[in-house]
Each structure stands twice: as structure tokens, then as C-alpha cells.
Structure 1
């Protein structure tokens, strides 16, 4: 227990140092690092977020995967405008493709802490991005400087989310094209998919077809590693279940943001069809190979997250700063 407390204290101390190092004015359009400096009385907004996320991480390390999924699912539909957080009978969070998204209560807690210190200053869209960076760092990922200055959107549609978010069987060329239309490269696609799948779990119902009836053949996916297939079949019966497997099948890597995912899919251990496809497709295989054998992922993932965070942002006088992330003002 003493070792765990020491490790946690060291991580927090390093985070404070890194937060201080971000206090300068680099900008991208109207987004910039350190946007909230001097805007929240004497409070360091990013430190407030860090403290709330760190407490949640100590209780549940799977919050990392939850926040990574949340940022991707928010940014990919209408841009990074926190539309995913809005409640409503037909809001984005009610879409089937968002059924696995969680972490809303953590965002609520962060928002409440910030509203207490400086009401109507920090957007929910920025909270998602800052909180995700903290979670990546706590899961042994490399620290990256987030850009802030986003404002929150008004529109949230389940049908839009359902038709916009890419599914687990999407072909690689179509996925690459979807990312490019959002200003993201093929490398960004591989980095973001890998970052999202390097932590967390995937429930059996999302890949049962690969185990028992791949593309209607009545047989397993031939690209799957035989030992991995046997393990998955033991966990995921044909009749279905609520069981799950780690998205990253590298031993001892399932809760760390590292390159283990790329090593696993090169061995045929990808869980979803898209995982295995990027390891062999001509548009992505070279990137997967490079990330699996070098230290590039640690340095490049943060950059891909920053670029994701620029998609479709509202800034300046656009949108609003919500008082409550679940509803419009």
C-alpha cells in the first residue's frame, strides 16, 4: 500500500510540473494551450480537472478507456462540442453506437468543481479533452499539451450519431476516407484506433461473428490467431453472454496506454475485424509495423489526440458555456 501511495504522489507531482510547463500561449486558430490562465480567479483549471480524474482513476482504472471513447465519439459526430453529453430522448447518447460510452458522472463531477470556482467559464467540450489527457497520462501514456477554448454546441441527434460513427466491421479504405474528411490522416486513424483499443474491454457480442460465422461462412475468421480464438470461444459462447475480453491482447498491457496493441494485432490477436484489417491492409500495415517495433506511439499518440480535438470546434461567440453539461442553458 505504501508503494502505491508513493507512486500516486510521484505521478501527481510530475503532473503539477507538466501543468506548469504548459502555461504559455501557443495557439491553433482560436484554440490555444493555457487558454484558461487568469480566467478562473486563482485556480488552475487543468489542475482541478487532474485532481478529480486522478481520484476516479485510483478507484477504477477502466475510466481511461471510457474517456478515450467519449472524446472520439463526441468529436466524430458534430465536432468536439460536448453534444454527446446532452440528455434527451433522441440525443446522441441514446444511439446504439454510443451504448458503450460511459463516464458521464465523472464529467458532471469535474463541471461541478469548476462551476464552484468560476461559474460559466470552462466549457464541457474542453473538460472532455483535458480529462482524457489526464487519464492517458495516468495510464502510463506520454503527457501532451491540450488546446482549449472550445464552446459547447446546442444540437444532439441520435440518428446523426448512428449514421456517422464508424462500426467495427468498416473496411479500412472507407475508414481512412472518413478520417481524412475530418482533417485526419491515415496515420491518425491508426494511432487513434490503437490508443482507444490499447486499454479497456470489448464485449463478446461485438465480435461473435469472427468466432463462429465469419462473413457467413459458418467458420471462424481465418486471420485470427488460433490460441486467441480458442481463448475467446471459452469466454464467449455461441449463444451470447455479457462476458468481455481485453481490447489489447498483449499480456499485462490491457490497462496501459502503450504499443502492445500493435504487437498483438500483428500476431493475429485483434479482437474486432477492423483491428485485424489495419495490420494487413496496404494503407495501414506499414504504420502498424512501425508502431509495434519503435517508440513512436508514445510520442505520436498525443499529437493525434490534439488533432482530433480540433475537429469541428466552436470558438469565440459560437455556442455557449453550459452551466450543466447535460442540458443547454
Structure 2
């Protein structure tokens, strides 16, 4: 009897310990900003089975007239997720305080494409598919259009009810040091590996000379440029972005293939051909440098990690930041307006 009691007590302790471990893990996940509740691949398979095909068709059609669209939609998803989570808050027109007007969102576009998709989805399935999910799906399709990997997106996000530019003050900035960037990503539950992989999204798209001025002309005292810029590359950059020139001029972020999704951007970073200061910083930090090298080293791709596979994992993880699910949030009828 004593043995049975002790065994029963031991089992109870084990169950209680397991429960505490599970609770602790749940609290850690919540603290890190990653939410997985009710997100699943095929969330709309019964309620709106044509939703994903509509997104793909509209995005594909729009990209024919704007080859920059893949980069635009990918950036839109990133900026949405980093403020208040992946909840479509960046889409809202809420007057002068709208989140989209925050300095950190400078140059973010693609809103009209999301609205076009939403209009077609609403016609097929009124009040079912969230704008937040449309943004995530559009980014996935954009990557595929740029010759990137195709992947499945867990859906089930709901749209946020708050959009305020004051909430975007902690967006990653092109002038951030690598330590600040790592901290900002960590606050979202993303680690150094995700920082490198999501920065590699700069393989497609362009940036404005406005964001290059300090790096080229006043990085060091005496008007000296960033010394990490490859001497061969520096004249290219200063020609494209001359001092006192048009700061709105756009230059590709990937020197070799701005409209093709590949890992060349990581090789550029290693060789000193990074355009953005934050990208160059990835090779100045021991941890992120090691990650960059793992994708472009001599052993890759035969023995090293798969850049495409890891990029997909990073995108899916980012897409789960502080999502609203269940009864939280709403399903907007128009993405730019709260219900």
C-alpha cells in the first residue's frame, strides 16, 4: 500500500511538473511575441477555399505591370508584423496618426494591391478572410514570383483595431547598430539567424539615396565613408548617389540581381558590397558573420544549411508575431478602414 501511495504521489508530481513546464513554455512564447494559437495551413479551406488562389491571381497580374511588386509586398509584410504584430494595422487610413505615416515606414507601398485582393475575396466570401492574412499570402506569392521558394502560410490571423504611428517607434532603422538590431529582433522573438535571413530579403528591391547619404559622405569625421565598403564598390555608390544629389533616386539593394530572389545578397555582404549599413553590419558581428558564412561558404550547398528552407522558416516565424486570433480583433470589410 505504501509503495502504491508513493507511486501515485510520484505520478502526481510528474504530472504537476509537466504542467508547470508547459505553462512556463507558454509564458516564454507569449513574452517573445510569437503567437501560434489557431493559425494553421488551410484555415480557409472550408469557409473560403478560393481565397489563396484569388490572392495569387491578383498579385501575379499586378506584377506584370510592376516588376518591383514582389519586393514591395515582402516589405509590407515585414513592416506590418513589426508594429503591433501581423494584424494589418499598417493598412489603415486613420488620419494623420495612421501607422503608415510613421518615419520607420517611409516608402512602404502596396496598399492598393492588398485592397484589390480584398475586394475580390469579399465578393467571393464576405467577412471571412482577414487583411492580415492577405498581406502574408501576398508576400508569399511575391517571393515565388521573384524565383524564390514556394511555401505554405499558416492562416487564421484577425485584423487589429489599433493603428497609430506612435507605436512604430521601435521599427528597425537603417542606421541601427548590429547590437540594436539584434535587440529589436529579440523583442519580437526572432534571433540572430532570423535577423540574417530576413535581412537577406534585400536580395530583391531598392532603396533611396536618402538612406545612403551618411554612409557615403559623413560616416567618419572629415566626411569619410564607411570603411567596410569595398573600394571597388564605393565609386559605384557615389556615382549612383552623388553628394547633394537627388535623395529620392533609387538604387538596387542587391548589386547583382535586384529582381531575382537568391542568396547573392549574403555573398555581397561578405565581400563588402552591401548597400545598406545594417546589411554590412551583419558581417561585423561574430554571431551574424558566422551565420552569413554558413550559407555562402565552400561547403554550401552540398553540406551547409539550405538558405531557401531556412528563409521560409524565418518568414513563417515572423508571420506569427503577436497575431490576433479567435475572438480578438476583427475581419475588416475594407482593409483601410476599421469596421
Deviating runs (4+, > 4 A) in structure 1?
A: none
Superimposed CA distance per residue, residues 84-124 of structure 1 (whole angstroms, 9 cap, x where no aligned partner): 00002111111122121000000000000000001010000
Work out whether 1:92 is the aligned partner of 2:102: no
Superimposed CA distance per residue, residues 22-50 of structure 1 (whole angstroms, 9 cap, x where no aligned partner): xxxxx94310000000102xx42111110
Q: CA–CA distance in 1 between the matches of 2:65 and 2:253?
A: 20
Aligned CA RMSD, in angstroms, stands at 1.3
1:1-329 to 2 correspondences below 5 Å: 28-40=36-48, 43-88=49-94, 89-161=96-168, 163-195=169-201, 197-241=202-246, 242-249=248-255, 251=256, 253-293=257-297, 294-295=300-301, 296-329=306-339
Q: CA–CA distance in 1 between the matches of 2:93 and 2:324?
A: 20
TM-score normalised according to structure 2 size: 0.85
Q: What displacement does 1:221 show?
A: 1.1
Deviates more, 1:293-302 or 1:89-98: 293-302
> Which residue of the partner structure matches residue 19 of structure 2?
none
Q: Is the 8 A contact 1:211 1:219 kept in 2?
A: yes
Q: Is the 8 A contact 1:173 1:283 kept in 2?
A: no
Question: CA 1:327/1:215 → structure 2, altered by over 3 Å: closer, same or farther?
Answer: farther
Q: What displacement does 1:216 show?
A: 3.7
Superimposed CA distance per residue, residues 118-137 of structure 1 (whole angstroms, 9 cap, x where no aligned partner): 10100000000001000101
Q: Is the 8 A contact 2:37 2:325 kept in 1?
A: no
Structure of higher CA gyration radius: 2
The alignment partner of 1:111 has SS state of helix
Say how many residue pairs are matched: 297
The alignment partner of 2:328 has SS state of coil
The alignment partner of 1:279 has SS state of coil
The gaps in structure 2 that reach 5 residues or longer are: 1-34
Deviates more, 1:221-230 or 1:314-323: 221-230
Q: CA–CA distance in 2 between the matches of 1:246 and 1:292?
A: 21
The alignment partner of 1:275 has SS state of helix
Q: Is the 8 A contact 2:42 2:155 kept in 1?
A: yes
Q: CA–CA distance in 2 between the matches of 1:231 and 1:38?
A: 53
